[in-house]
Structure 1
Amino acid sequence: MERVSIEITHGVADVRLNRPGKRNALDPAMFAALVRAGERLKTEPGLRAVVLSGEGPDFCAGLDFAAFQAMRSGDRISADVDLPPTDGPAKATGQRAAYVWTEVPVPVIAAITGHALGGGLQVALGADIRLVTADAKLSVLEIKWGLIPDMTGTQVLPELVGPDVAKELTFTGRVVSGAEAVTLGLATRVSPDPRSEALDMARAIAQRSPDAVRAAKRLLTARVDRATGLAAEQTEITALIGSPNQVEAVTAEFDKRAPRFTDPS
């Protein structure tokens, strides 16, 4: 059975972690499947948005128990995954499984139900937006196993929740509800049906100019100094103004019709 499934409809990719009997836990096959899925979507023609969720009641409960057993003898299961090299900043397999969603050029929306623990939470942090049920359980759980979050979590968490909250969550490993996660900034908003709402959001994004959406993600995701970021804003807006899709957006608005955008090649 495929560890990660992808179904694309009208430019929206429905991506699901597919190991429900194990709460979608991370084993070597799941690490590899997440990276390969993200790499595929980075160059998928006509892609407008991505929804990332888990089959069954849970998003992802973190590392498979076999991984912790292997660690007792100093082994690291993610190190055994055979993947092609990358030019990106994330080099380790676990980092790539989370960071690749940041590299996908269109918005990625994570729909979180049940458990999103440890590495599972870090995968969700790779998304641009996180919708959660109020009773979902999220945790930076690595400290329980004598570890640290090593799948980009130490870099992403402080940006979302602030340094002090990031430290508290990391030092204690406490479990927070979806509702508290929204209050902390760990999630975007509560939804009674995150996957359904995420798909609706993705479809709405898919109706916007793909050039503008991709430019917005580039600018909002980039980690640069202020001067570089402001210069990048001007580069992006200059390229957009008067471009075919921007003209189509204005024309369709005035004509009171649905726009007919052309996807980037």
Structure 2
Amino acid sequence: MASSEPLLDQDGVRLTVDDALATVTLANPAKRNAQSPAMWRALAEAGRLLPGAVRVVVLRGEGKSFSAGLDRQMFTPEGIEGEPSFIDLARSGDAELDSAIAGFQEGFTWWRRSDLVSIAAVQGHAIGAGFQLALACDLRVVADDVQFAMRETGLGLVPDLTGTHPLVSLVGYGRAVEMCLTGRFVQAAEAVSTGLANLAVPVDQLDATVGELASAILAAPRDAVIETKALLQGAADRTYDEQRAAERAAQSRRLRALAGLGE
């Protein structure tokens, strides 16, 4: 969706920037964009490399699948060359193990920054870590062939890449429990009806639809978008009266800014 030279192109992650729009592409279609610690480090680096002018970030996957989840080699005794295996991690101390998982999560945490709006364009399989990466974004537009599934519990693990909080927020506790514990596929119609996805479109319209959504967001003044996003992000943790007060404070800032009065 952007034509400029990549700011990052390594370990299956490519970052391109076109003015206020950045695109992060999972770029290992031969492996259905399977994820590894190296990919997670590259995703975290993509967030650090974003220029300050970027307002919208689109996350997409090359090929037929958004991301098929963890690279299966991570489940083998030898793991991935140059990376600690799951067995190595299990044998580490509590602090070291916690630090390792926290490092893995860094590639998933920056997508909801208050100064950005992130949109996941999801087609085909979005399994496990792929599902959680889509959940890391503010918005999800899905192709009609999408198949979400949270498979970690069936493998004896838990979803630990920041996906549990947004999943419960979007679909509710009961549905989240059922999806995670059964590991079943959630397809496009259900994704939209339960709130997992904002809309579903034919696969050949996915990029164009996401581009239109990004353009609509970019058409609004940046500071108003930032204030509105912050209001919505904090709403669930505030009481009704606290939210009213937050609205008043945000609107006061906007009115003064529009009048050229500053703070």
Q: TM-score, normalised by structure 1?
A: 0.80
Higher RCO (CA-CA < 8 Å; seq separation 6+): 1
Q: Which residue of 1 aligns with 2:237?
A: 224
* Most deviating of 67-76 and 225-234: 67-76
Selected match of 1:205 from 202, 217, 231: 217
Paired residue secondary structure (1:135): coil
1-structure distance, mates of 2:259, 2:23: 30
CA contact (8 A) 2:114 2:230 kept: no
Asked if 1:234 is matched to 2:248, the reply is yes
**Unaligned stretches of 5+ in structure 2?**
1-8, 80-84, 93-98
Within a 5 Å distance, the mapping from 1:1-265 to structure 2 comes to 2=10, 3-41=12-50, 44-70=51-77, 74-76=87-89, 92-103=102-113, 105-192=115-202, 193-222=205-234, 224-226=237-239, 227-243=241-257, 246=258
Aligned residues: CA RMSD: 2.5
Tell me the number of residue pairs that the alignment of Structure 1 and Structure 2 aligns.
234
1:94 shift after superposition: 3.1
1-structure distance, mates of 2:64, 2:191: 18
Paired residue secondary structure (1:13): strand
1-structure distance, mates of 2:49, 2:151: 29
Structure 1 residues 73 and 215: CA distance shift in structure 2, 3 A: closer
Paired residue secondary structure (2:48): helix
Paired residue secondary structure (2:152): helix
Structure 1 residues 190 and 73: CA distance shift in structure 2, 3 A: closer
Structure 1 residues 154 and 187: CA distance shift in structure 2, 3 A: same
CA contact (8 A) 2:141 2:210 kept: yes
Q: Deviations over 1:137-177 (max 9, x none)?
A: 10111122111111122222111001100000011000111
The amino acid of 1:125's aligned partner reads: L
Q: Deviations over 1:73-95 (max 9, x none)?
A: 62349x9xxxxxx9xxxx71332
1:33 shift after superposition: 0.9
The amino acid of 2:45's aligned partner reads: R
Q: TM-score, normalised by structure 2?
A: 0.81
Stretches of 4+ aligned residues off by more than 4 angstroms: 70-73
Q: Which residue of 1 aligns with 2:3?
A: none
Q: Deviations over 1:100-131 (max 9, x none)?
A: 21126221110000111101111111111100
